[in-house]
Structure 1
């Protein structure tokens, strides 16, 4: 999975750099706890530049959610491409949960965190959540199809249902990483997920 680093102020106003920095702040703190001062410090923007460019804290948050979804989806699809086979993709992903030590990785999944914080109460945020979850589910479908084609996963089980299960199970596992579950327990739970996908 992609690692993010928001240290330091951007040398120039590059939108992706700024959005990435804001995303990490929201990811590690949550929407409500992340203040405007936190965002300005992370992005290096002045207050006037922030509002001129992004309009509001909420708009920046929605932009950050969409950016997170795009970056994470691309990283997952690269992992599928690099994996030995479809089953190995899921093993590699679970292993990555144990290997990451950066604070924002240990903060869990930004999409899942936001769903827990907001639910469906804000339509703009709900739309961004739906987009992110759809991207992740479709990516897991790609991995399952790869596994069916290479023989590492059974071909007699519906891909869509198993992709939905993988989405729920792996997000739950990542939430346990956030809660501080030790790596040995994470790996055991991950093995159970792999067995269910077989």
Structure 2
């Protein structure tokens, strides 16, 4: 008769995500995962599969949580103000991370994006969804005259995704508002032509 699992799967996955986020895939050992998740190896393998499958599950959990913040881009109101609030909230989340981990997606893009097809697929879908939400907001702002039309909305959306990832990378090395605020301000200035 199989033994019942004596741990919360979502909590264990959250703990694994934090370990991968802090150390990266390669530097996180199975023992690190067993220790931080508070489960034994057998339970890890039975519940999550191998290390790579666990990593993919953790990355997926992070992307879903992160994408939920994109709902802020879908609210009614002045599009420039919505985008401004969104970018500054993003910047402050970076500044308020005491461990200076950066973005799990950005870290994974750098570490595994070019040779791990499953990671690359999740990452492309993640960035694609953010670009889609930004494109819709920017296009709405262009249609109602709040944002100048000199660039295509999709081009600006891709630019803003790049700026956001740059904020996360710079925030790991120079986590000061005096460094990150100008990145937001210059990006927002691009909406004026």
TM-score by length of 2: 0.83
- Aligned-partner Cα distance in 1 for 2:163–2:175: 15
- Aligned-partner Cα distance in 1 for 2:76–2:177: 21
Q: Are 2:24 and 1:39 equivalent residues in the alignment?
A: no
Q: Are 2:8 and 1:53 equivalent residues in the alignment?
A: no
Q: Are 2:104 and 1:102 equivalent residues in the alignment?
A: no
Partner of 2:179: 185
Q: Give yes or no for contact 1:94–1:187 (8 Å, CA) kept in 2.
A: no
Q: Give yes or no for contact 1:80–1:143 (8 Å, CA) kept in 2.
A: yes
Q: Please identify the structure whose Cα radius of gyration is greater.
A: 2
Q: Give yes or no for contact 2:67–2:130 (8 Å, CA) kept in 1.
A: yes
Greater mean deviation of Cα atoms: 186-195 or 140-149: 140-149
- Aligned-partner Cα distance in 1 for 2:144–2:38: 47
**Aligned-pair Cα RMSD in Å:** 2.4
Instruction: Work out which of the residue numbers 43, 62, 65 in structure 1 matches 2:56.
Output: 62
Alignment of 1:1-198 (within 5 A): 13-77=7-71, 79-81=72-74, 84-96=77-89, 97-98=91-92, 100-103=95-98, 106-148=100-142, 151-155=145-149, 157-198=151-192
Q: Give yes or no for contact 1:40–1:47 (8 Å, CA) kept in 2.
A: yes
Structure 1 residue runs without a partner (length 5+)? 1-11
- Aligned-partner Cα distance in 1 for 2:40–2:76: 43
Q: Give yes or no for contact 2:163–2:183 (8 Å, CA) kept in 1.
A: no
Which whole-Å deviations, capped at 9, do the CAs of 1:107-140 have from their partners, x for residues lacking one? 1121111111123212222222222221222222
- Aligned-partner Cα distance in 1 for 2:82–2:11: 29
Which whole-Å deviations, capped at 9, do the CAs of 1:36-72 have from their partners, x for residues lacking one? 2322233222211110011111111111112211110
Structure 2 vs 1, CA of residues 27 and 151 (structure 1 numbering), >3 Å: closer, same or farther?
Answer: farther
How many residues in Structure 1 have an aligned counterpart in Structure 2?
A: 186
Partner of 2:3: none
- Aligned-partner Cα distance in 2 for 1:95–1:60: 32
TM-score by length of 1: 0.81
- Aligned-partner Cα distance in 2 for 1:47–1:186: 41
